[in-house]
């Protein structure tokens, strides 16, 4: 097994893949091992530009895929910290979302939950009372 590196790959099918890659030199027939390959697409709208990320194989639950070298047109190592950050953020978010067996969603800070209704009511009443005295 070789060293791992982030790579953009263009396949003979026309697909462009971004993945953490390792090259396995197996008896003179190199194999490309992809870890969590994704498809990244630059999108533009009236708000600006963004990157759309989706899994390369949407139905599969596997994280590793093997491709023979003859299925690849070109590949290049990626050192762009922004692309690597988007990729790792997508992979880490995808793995951390394990569903609750009961189907309930746990409240988190990301959902905007800051305090209880009672605490919020008290804060708003205090603000109203302070503004009334002015």
Structural domains in the chain, CATH included, are 4-106 (2.30.30.100)
What would the two tokens of residue 48 be?
Answer: 């600006």
For 18-73, how does the pLDDT look when each residue is reduced to its tens digit (9 = 90+)? Answer: 999 998 887 777 889 999 999 988 888 888 888 888 999 988 888 899 998 889 99
* Token pair 């047109």 in the structure block, residue: 73
Task: Give the three-state DSSP class for 59.
Answer: coil
CA–CA distance, 28 with 66 (Å, rounded to integer): 16
User: Taking the CB of residue 43, how many other CB atoms lie within 10 A of it?
Assistant: 9
Question: What length does the chain have?
Answer: 134
Query: Kind of pairing, strands 48-55 and 64-68?
Result: unpaired
pLDDT at 17: 94
For 74-132, how does the pLDDT look when each residue is reduced to its tens digit (9 = 90+)? Answer: 999 999 888 888 899 888 875 555 555 566 666 666 666 667 888 888 988 888 887 76
> Which residue in 32, 38, 78 sits closest to 55, CA to CA?
38
pLDDT at 47: 81
* Phi, psi at 80, each rounded to 5°: -70, 115
């Amino acid at each position: 097994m070789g060293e791992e590196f982030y790579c953009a790959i263009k396949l003979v099918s026309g697909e462009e893949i971004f993945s953490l890659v390792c090259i396995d030199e197996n008896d003179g027939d190199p194999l490309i091992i992809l870890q969590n390959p994704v498809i990244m697409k630059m999108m533009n709208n009236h708000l600006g530009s963004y990157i759309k990320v989706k899994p390369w194989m949407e139905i599969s639950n596997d994280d590793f895929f093997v491709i023979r070298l003859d299925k690849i047109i070109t590949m290049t190592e990626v050192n762009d910290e922004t692309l690597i950050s988007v990729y790792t953020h997508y992979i880490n978010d995808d793995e951390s979302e394990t569903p609750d067996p009961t189907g309930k969603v746990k409240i988190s800070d990301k959902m905007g939950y800051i305090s209880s209704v009672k605490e919020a009511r008290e804060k708003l009443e205090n603000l109203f009372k302070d503004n009334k005295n002015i």
